[in-house]
Amino acid sequence: MALLRRRRVRLRPGPDRRQRQVITPEGVPLPFTIGARGARAAALIIDYVLIVAAMAGLTYLVASLANAVHIKADERNPVGQALVVIWIVIMFLFRHIWFLYFELGPRGATPGKRIVGLRVAARDGGRLTTEAVVARNFLRDIELTLPMIFISTTLAVGEDASFAGWAGTAWFLIFVLFPFCNRDALRAGDVVAGTWVVEAGRDRLKAALSTGAGAQGHSTLTQTRYEFGEAELSVYGEYELQVLERVLRDDNAEAMADVAQAICTKIGWTNGRGDERAFLEAYYTQLRARLERGMRFGQRKADKHS
Amino acid sequence: MIARWFGKNASQDAAVEAAALRSDRFRQAREGDWQRLETIVTRIEGGRLRKLSDEDLLALPALYRTAISSLAIARETSLDAALIAYLEGLARRAWFAVYGPREGLGAWLKRFFLGGWSAAVRGLGVDLLIALAMMVLGTVVGWLLVSGNPDWYYSLMGSDDVRVPGASREALLHTLFGQQDQTGLSMFAAFLFSNNAQVSLFAFALGFAFGLPSILLLIHNTAGLGALLWLYHGQGLTLELVGWLAIHGTTELFAILLAGGAGIHIGRAMAFPGDAPVLVAAAAAGRRAAQVMVGVVLMLICAAVLEGFGRQLVDSTTVRLAIGGTMLALWLAYFFAWRPARGQAAA
């Protein structure tokens, strides 16, 4: 697979600033939303809290189990000592096991990320390799755990704490502020591994607005039939159609009344009252039919000004 | 798929015909496939892979491509924004399922220990030799500095109770043998969380500054070793010291060598990236070095076990040297002599 290009589509500011387009190996651009930096920080904090809780809980369980079976870890008991050694090793590696197990799983997200709605993906649109996940997790140790250990040991030892403490703090700050220095909110681990963290959303398939009694032009309320001619449908473009769709899906009576009023003013009809929903559905369907017909012939009208 | 087209029932056909817009007819014709894909993807995300039937699992890539092609068509022919948003979300989730990691943690660990790690170490190549040269250089530098002026000992090793220049032979001998008062467990735990693990990780991490800090770190740490060697040599206890260090020292020094080599590997890739851009070369070198470092952390755990328990149990210099030598031979054989068949390591 050749190296895939990434196009960035800049739309309105806000969450659209975090939109990226990735071209899948099939050649179709898929939009992704980069996870917000605050959300990622929250996910990390939640994960660490869960890890500490799990470690404490498991240690308590194993300790009470050992007590129940009367295994003691003193010098006379090599079995007990061996078990304690194994347990210490597991706890030492626990946070790595946690992150690796969940990020290599089917959801590509640790419980912290799942709660916040994020997951890990490969930046170039291809396969997420195991080596990439391992590399990004290992570098998190360098970024966070190492300076923490460094700072805490120098604080505990107490001698020459000023220089060492400042060095550790500088190290920590460089890596914590790294995601703020690039547009895709990449950690140093993400840069090395070729991954990024994106939002994992879920959409339901909503019913089509253009199938239904109102859409055929018949109003169930007033028994009238709304039909619009070419002149009335040619004023608006795709942008207005999508605004109209949003209004119809939100189903807010006041908004619908306002929009119906605006359309009537524009096309020169007298506005009625009470039947806005059917009117708007009919206008939506016929406008969409017209614009889609134009699309098939390659003529697209982006909005009412074009 | 063909059978489902011909097997559609009459009500579905009527609904498809009744839809006035072509894009709605297109949507109603394909909705069944999209719902099926959604069910499969939801089951995969929920981790309930066993509940998926074989047909569903085999159909996943085809259904994913159907959804992707539906998305491409919908973008060109339909102005239903909710439909396009739904298809984008569905295609995204199916893309995650189809292009996710191919193996879980267990399979990766198996591949790692059965050849992946040693392949990564061999991939470091010249950088290991550079790191070895730096470590030897550091030891020599430490020895020469301290033999010229014993005050250097305090800068390199800090001040200890017993192990200082001018200590008697009996005092030094006592530090090497007969330390039975400390329990093995506490020494193990202390080692695990101590200096040497951090030194290794630092040597790797500082590779991103073109490898120079890694080199300096290697020299600085082995200078301490050289100073210690000079101190015991002065009292004729060199062999006993080497034995005392050898049990865990061969593993630990090998681990530091690998960590330094990994850092130098990244540094050299950044300084001489060849045809690739600097960051791309650094990222590729970083991925290989991270594989090596995962193994280094495990090696240090090994060294901790050897130090905590081996040193306490074994009191004779010959046996200590034998254990150290065996560990070194095992590591060398594992990394350089054992090359499993291509298929196993490259899976």
Residue type, B271: A
Q: How far is A165 from chain B (nearest CA, A)?
A: 15
Mean per-residue pLDDT over chain B, rounded? 83
Q: What angle do CA A262, A268, A274 make, to 5 degrees?
A: 55
Reported confidence tier of residue B19, pLDDT bands at 50, 70, 90: low
Which of B48, B76, B88, B92 should be substituted to probe chain A, the one whose Cβ sees the most A Cβ atoms within 10 Å? B92
Q: How is residue B331 written in tokens? A: 């590591």
Q: How far is A148 from chain B (nearest CA, A)?
A: 11
Cβ of A108: how many Cβ atoms within 10 Å?
25
Residue type, B141: V
Instruction: Look at residues B126, B116, B150 and name the one whose alpha carbon lies nearest to residue B343.
Output: B116
Tens digit of pLDDT for each residue in A56-111?
999 899 888 888 877 665 656 677 777 777 888 888 788 888 999 999 888 889 99
Smallest CA–CA distance from A143 into chain B, residue: B205
| H-assigned helices in chain A | 37-68, 78-103, 111-116, 130-140, 146-157, 161-176, 188-193, 230-233, 238-250, 253-267, 276-296
B contacts of A288 (beta carbons < 8 Å): 21, 23, 79-80
Reported confidence tier of residue B49, pLDDT bands at 50, 70, 90: confident
Contact B185 A200 (CB under 8 A): no
For residue A105, what are the contacts with CB-CB under 8 A and spacing of at least 6? Answer: B47, B104
Against a cut of 0.90, is the pTM above it?
A: no
Asked if the C-beta of A285 comes within 8 angstroms of chain B's C-beta atoms, the answer is yes
Contact B100 A131 (CB under 8 A): no
Q: At what angle do helices A146-157 and A161-176 cross, to 10 degrees?
A: 160
State how far the Cα of A108 lies from the Cα of A122, in Å rounded to an integer. 11
State how far the Cα of B289 lies from the Cα of B283, in Å rounded to an integer. 10
State how far the Cα of B57 lies from the Cα of B340, in Å rounded to an integer. 32
Which of A1, A3, A30, A286 should be substituted to probe chain B, the one whose Cβ sees the most B Cβ atoms within 10 Å? A30
pLDDT greater than 60 at residue B81 = yes
A residues 138-197 near B, CB within 8 Å? 138-139, 141-142, 146, 149-150, 188, 191-194
Say yes or no: ipTM exceeds 0.90: no
State how far the Cα of B117 lies from the Cα of B205, in Å rounded to an integer. 19
Contact A192 B108 (CB under 8 A): no
pLDDT in tens, chain A (306 residues): 445 555 555 444 556 788 899 898 899 999 999 998 899 999 999 999 999 999 999 989 988 888 887 766 565 667 777 777 788 888 878 888 899 999 988 888 999 999 999 999 988 888 888 888 988 888 888 788 777 777 777 777 766 666 767 777 888 888 888 889 888 889 888 888 889 999 987 777 777 777 766 666 667 677 777 888 888 888 899 999 999 999 998 889 899 999 999 999 988 888 778 888 888 888 998 999 999 999 889 888 888 887
**What length does chain A have?**
306
pLDDT greater than 90 at residue B67 = yes
